[in-house]
Structure 1
């Protein structure tokens, strides 16, 4: 819930804050947007480089799939823990812990070469095999964003958060070509250059940790009375079920696995695959720009539904992913077509 008097934080906002944040949003939300953009850049190039990096270490397709799957299982487990016990700790402390875990994860991937240690690091850490954020950062930052605005301003803020993530991931995908460039114009091997990219990711975790220190400190809500969901329980349950279908479909085609197919089927280099994901990311980012005006003109549910793209026959995972996405896209607006921004109904 928004604390009375918080709008005072908007007085004297810097010009970047005024440009990035909608009216009616606390200036602290800018820290979350910058952190999201920094992570997105790193997620963009790591998701593309991961298959090639694991191949360079001597692993095969199965290892790529196992490590990618383990990262998603670990993120799901961490999200459940945050939901069950996150209210016992200050959110700023949890975010800083996540940033520290990000540093450790990528240092582990940069230094380890055996499968089992990498599997453990993938499960425990915050590595993301796709461009979308699926780590424990996501529920923590979403909760902080929800506290930073109300009403239409909240919708606009979440749209900008998604836009920043999509744009930064697209730009990060372009950086996937850096290891090949470094290996070509220096004495470093391609493997060494890819290890350096993981070190860059870890260094970004330090920057994000420093950013989170600037967030206002809030006490935990462990002693606060628990309020049951009540009438909203049904809505939350339906949304959770629908989102689980969407997440399962997305998990069939995370960027690292699609990169693996592009490399093996079409012989693309990581740099060329990065260009593919760059343009795909720009198209995704463009859809975020329409989220706020569409949500104001119609119900929120159609805005959440993705466009259906005809990609052709690229393999069984693509077909399964597309079928599930279609079911999700049709079910979401049907279930929530009467819901209006702000919690009202049409």
Structure 2
């Protein structure tokens, strides 16, 4: 049935090529810089993925699995809400500032989690971090799409996303080794440090590169 429907489709209903190249052109330098910075952010994030956090809090505070499940649920709900809030914040202060000024407090909270003397303080700060840590995700995508030409968007998405995925692959190995050697939250501190460095570099290099709607 699907084959018959496909054969009857009019050629006019199919998208026509625009004749423009999708590879990066004038935006190449900007996108490569963003890809490098996003990779640093993703590299740091690889030290504090949920599995690493779960392993650390089990070893450090002996938190029950059921309680940790509730913690992850609350964190996920706040992360979803934060995606909606980030749009309003971006309209007020701009895309780059939204990425930076929501990300740094999230990293500070992660440092607080690592240094917490008891489990409930650690859990509270981890949940609060959930409200901020993913707020930059939709804004980051919007910024990348805004600073390139429409014909470059597919290439820009590929160049910025693939290195991020690769950069996050290795840190869990190092984080697991660290937790095997010590109960101290070295992976969380490394994550927060990398992310704060990323935030300051992003603000320094891109605070004056604004998308058309902010000019």
TM-score (norm. length: structure 2): 0.75
Q: Tell me: CA distance 1:99–1:82, structure 2 relative to 1, closer, same or farther (3 Å).
A: closer
Tell me what 1:216 maps to: 207
Q: Partners in 1 of 2:82 and 2:168 — Cα distance?
A: 22
Write out aligned runs for 1:59-78 (5 A): 59-78=63-82
Matches within 5 A, 1:226-241: none
Specify the alignment match of 2:15 in structure 1: none
- Retained in 2: the 8 A contact 1:24–1:153? no
C-alpha offsets along residues 20-66 of structure 1, whole Å, 9 cap, x if unaligned? x9334253333432232122223223223111111111201022212
**Equivalents in 2 of 1:121, 1:137: separation in Å?**
18
Q: Does 1:55 align with 2:47?
A: no
Structure 1 residues 198 and 108, CA gap change in structure 2 (3 angstroms): same
Structure 1 counterpart of 2:166: 167
RMSD, aligned CA: 2.8
Correspondence for 2:20: none
Q: 1:66 touches 1:119 (CA, 8 Å); kept in 2?
A: no
Shift in Å at residue 113 of structure 1? 4.6
- Report SS of the residue matched to 1:108: helix
CA deviation vs aligned residue, 1:245-269 (integer Å, no higher than 9, x gap): xxxxxxxxxxxxxxxxxxxxxxxxx
Q: Is the 8 A contact 2:97 2:207 kept in 1?
A: no
More helix by share: 2
TM-score, normalised to structure 1's length? 0.49
SS of 1:23's partner is coil
Would the alpha carbon gap of residues 29 and 123 (structure 1) be closer, same or farther in structure 2, given more than 3 Å must change?
Answer: farther
- Structure 1 runs not aligned, ≥5 long: 1-20, 129-133, 184-189, 225-346
Aligned to 1:44: 46
**SS class of match (1:191):** coil
Residue aligning to 2:37: 35
Residue 177 of structure 1 corresponds to which residue in structure 2? 176
Residues 22/191 of structure 1: CA separation in 2 closer, same or farther (3 Å cut): same
1:149 aligns with 2:139: no
TM superposition shift of 1:87: 0.6
Which structure 2 segments of 5+ residues have no match? 1-22
